[in-house]
Amino acid sequence: MTSTSLELERALEVKGLNVWLGEKQILHNITFKVNRGEILAIMGPSGSGKSTLLRAISRLLDHRTDARVRGEVLINGINVYTTNPYKARKYIGIVFQNPNPFPHMTIYDNIAVGPKLHKLVRSKTELDNLVRWALKSAMLWDDVKEKLNSYPAELSGGQQQRLCLARALAMRPKLLLLDEPTANIDPVNAKKIENIVKKMSREESVAVVIVTHTPAQAMRISDKVLFLFNGKTIEYGPTQVVASNPDHDLTQSFLRGEI
């Protein structure tokens, strides 16, 4: 079957994933793969289950008592649903739709806390370097280098979102999960975030799953797209192919901005 090198290549594999919230089935039999250095865009109209999919991958649904999940999620070849979820999340960086830096922690601590808790660094110097690297990667270093000990409330919304991105990057993740990261911020910051994500996947071989409801964004940054509608996979394939020659009418109308 798959060789070891292939498994290492494969950062995320989702097999036959079904999710229920209460009585309602939100996701039906979702299957896809993301390799290292690859960007998958999950697109679909609101209510199609995109965010739930990201939460199922990262086991954030565990904390919802009404959620049920069936299927497999493999991150780095490890089944997330049969291991300690906190250990599994060590390889994941997550950025949410709304900027959510920890308001009670300084800018520095917001980034340092994850690596510290997961024991990714051995010394203060190493931690300092990691924080600086993450902030530079998120194009935020010049904005905040003078106020690492201030609180995130001092930053603009777009800066806060880049802080959240830096927080995710500081985990040196194998997999980056982004839930409409640019939906609620200004176009300039949105552009920056897209560039950072592209760079991370190219230069650091991070696998990226980005949820978006704008087809244009999916086209701009992704290698593969998965089009979700009412919790079902309508189309899944290389971005170029789906964009130029979609199989399904629904995909066409979504790309034309009709749904």
Partner 1 sequence: MDNSVPPPREDKIFLYSLLPFASVIIAALILLGIILLDTSLPALKEYGIGLFMRNVWKPREDGPGEYGLLAPIIGTLETAIIAVIIALPMSLSLLILTEEMMPNKWRDLVSTLIDVMAGLPTILYGLWGIEVLIPFLRDHFMSFLHEKIGFIPLLSCQPLSGSSILAAGMLLSIMIIPFIYVIIRESYSTIPQSLVEAAIAYSSGWRHYVKFKIGLIKPALLGGLLLGFGRAAGETVAVALVIGNSFHLSSCIFAPGYTISSLIANQFANSMYYPLMSSVLFAGGLFLLSTGLALNYAGVKLIRRSRKLCQAV
With CB under 8 A as the contact rule, which of the stretches 110-118, 180-188, 208-216, 236-244 interacts with partner 1? 110-118
Residues between 165 and 184 that touch partner 1 (CB under 8 A): 167, 171
Nearer to partner 1, 186 or 203 (CB): 186
63 contacts partner 1 (rule: CB under 8 A)? yes
- What residue has token string 């199922």? 56
Distance CA 179, CA 185 (A): 13
Q: Report if residue 41 touches partner 1, rule: CB under 8 A.
A: no
Complex with partner 1: residue 68 or 220, whichever CB lies closer: 68
For position 101 contacting partner 1 by CB under 8 A, the verdict is yes
Distance CA 182, CA 95 (A): 10
- Segment near partner 1 (CB under 8 A), from 10-18, 71-79, 92-100, 197-205? 92-100
Decide: 52 and 19 in contact? Cβ < 8 Å. yes
Q: Do 16 and 79 touch, CB atoms closer than 8 A?
A: no
102 binds partner 1 (CB under 8 A): yes
Instruction: Give the residue with the Cβ less far from partner 1, 12 or 234.
Output: 12
Reported in sequence order, the residue ranges of 8-166 that DSSP labels E, i.e. its strands, are: 10-21, 24-35, 39-43, 67-75, 78-79, 92-95
**Taking the CA of residue 112 as centre, how many other CA atoms within 13 Å lie in the half-sphere pointing to its CB?**
17
Cα–Cα distance for residue pair 165/138, rounded to 1 Å: 6
Interacting span for partner 1 (CB under 8 A) from 82-90, 200-208, 227-235, 246-254: 82-90
Bridge partners (DSSP) listed for residue 68: 20
Contact residues for 42 (Cβ-Cβ < 8 A; gap 6+): 50, 53, 54, 209, 210, 211, 212, 225, 226, 228
Number of residues that bind partner 1 (CB under 8 A): 33
**Near partner 1 by CB under 8 A: residue from 17, 44, 96, 218:** 96
Q: Does 113 bind partner 1 (CB under 8 A)?
A: yes
- Residues of this chain that interact with partner 1 (CB under 8 A) are 55, 58, 60, 63, 65, 84, 86-87, 89-90, 92, 94, 96-105, 113-114, 117-119, 152-153, 160, 164, 167, 171
